[in-house]
Amino acid sequence: MGVRIPKILRSSASAAAVAAAWLVMASSLAAQREAPADISWEPESLVQGSIVRLGVRPSSGENVVEVAGVVAGQPLHFEADSAGAFWALAGLPIDVAEHVAIDLVLRYPDRSDTVAVSLPVSRRNAPMERLKVAPKFGRPLDSALTVRVQGERARARRVSRESHQTPRQWRGPFVRPRDSRVTGQFGRGRLYNGQVTGRHMGVDLAGKLGEGVYATNHGVVALVADFYLAGKAIYLDHGAGLVTAYFHLSNADVIEGDLVSKGQQIGTVGASGRVTGPHLHWVARYGTVTVDAESLLELGSRE
């Protein structure tokens, strides 16, 4: 909101005094003006590479009909609850700095308000993991395999991008795809035979060959494929930008296009792809931002 200052003033001294008075008045009026909405987030402490739930509560008397926004280049899909608040998931990149910028647009019947928010983000504690493996697992890919892997990654990214067009399928709390111990944490750097190969961008869960793998929430089977690195893989599109994936399977019990329910068996643990033994590699992505799949479990049951 702006305040006009008179153009015609008889002296520079009076001009300065009047201008100061108008600035004090403008500051007072701005302070009295209520923000268009209250912004909240869950969980309260945000960490790099995690899923966050954003809440927008319009100020009393404000008739907000729609909320839109962007985080880390990914669109947000807000839904209104029975109390008139709007909620959406967002993915925080693993390399985000100490704050993440959120650009929101609140739409009314006759106008729009733009709100810029900066959320504090803590650094992820992910120490380097040193692994001793057979030499074949530490060698760089040859040119033919590099082309194959790039094509497979492009297929996976397409699933993630297209999830923004799918209506939300998931409902209620997310569940683990296996009730077993975590053997590899998300975000850890990996050192194979003394050579750095990047970060571990998933969660490894223990399992024996042939044991069940279950859908973490309702969704659509978007992709079933045999990849060089990921082995037999299943991608579930949970809608509104959210995808989970299940790697190194021995078998897929679903086909593309199937609707699956939370807790439904979708495949079995295996050792396919570039791995040293049977386990499940569990991946979560919001759009093209890969996040810690375990952070889905902290979202609670808000609908």
Q: What is the CATH number of the domain that holds 104?
A: 2.60.40.10
Return the beta strands (E) in 108-171 as ranges: 112-120, 129-131
Identify the domain boundary among 120, 145, 178. 120
Question: Do residues 87 and 205 both lie within one domain?
Answer: no
Identify the domain boundary among 100, 120, 140. 120
In a domain, 134, yes or no: yes
Residue 33's pLDDT is 44
Identify the domain boundary among 120, 149, 184. 120
Question: Do residues 49 and 84 both lie within one domain?
Answer: yes
Question: Do residues 212 and 75 both lie within one domain?
Answer: no
CA distance linking residue 124 with residue 178, whole number of Å:
24
Sequence-distant contacts of 94-101: CB under 8 A, at least 24 apart: 94/48, 94/49, 94/124, 94/187, 94/199, 94/201, 94/290, 94/291, 95/48, 96/48, 96/72, 96/121, 97/121, 100/46, 100/71, 100/72, 101/71
In a domain, 107, yes or no: yes
At 262, list the tokens.
């939370």
Question: Do residues 101 and 136 both lie within one domain?
Answer: no
| pTM of this structure | 0.83
Q: What are the residues whose beta carbons fall under 8 Å from the beta carbon of 209, sequence distance 6 or more?
A: 250, 268, 269, 270, 271, 278
Question: Do residues 146 and 176 both lie within one domain?
Answer: yes
In a domain, 113, yes or no: yes
Residue 276's pLDDT is 86
Question: Do residues 143 and 163 both lie within one domain?
Answer: yes
Residue 62's pLDDT is 84
Angle at 152 between CA 233 and CA 75, to 5 degrees: 90
Domain span at residue 52 reads: 37-120
Q: Tell me, what CATH number does 228's domain have?
A: 2.70.70.10
In a domain, 25, yes or no: no
In a domain, 3, yes or no: no
In a domain, 62, yes or no: yes
Question: Do residues 235 and 175 both lie within one domain?
Answer: yes
* CB 280, CB 212: distance < 8 Å: no
Question: Do residues 116 and 157 both lie within one domain?
Answer: no
> Judging by DSSP bridges, how do beta strands 112-120 and 129-131 pair with one another?
unpaired
Question: Do residues 101 and 82 both lie within one domain?
Answer: yes
How many domains, in total, are found in the chain? 2
Residue 1's pLDDT is 29
In a domain, 193, yes or no: yes
In a domain, 4, yes or no: no
Question: Do residues 115 and 260 both lie within one domain?
Answer: no
What is the CB neighbour count within 10 angstroms for residue 280? 27
Question: Do residues 101 and 160 both lie within one domain?
Answer: no
Question: Do residues 141 and 98 both lie within one domain?
Answer: no
Task: List the pLDDT tens digit at each of the 303 positions of the chain.
Answer: 232 223 223 333 333 443 343 333 333 333 334 567 899 999 999 999 999 999 999 988 789 999 999 999 999 999 999 999 999 999 999 999 899 999 999 999 999 999 999 999 999 887 656 555 556 656 678 899 999 999 999 999 999 999 999 999 999 999 999 999 999 999 887 555 445 466 789 999 999 999 999 999 999 999 999 999 999 999 999 999 999 999 999 999 999 999 999 999 999 999 999 888 999 999 999 999 999 999 999 986 665
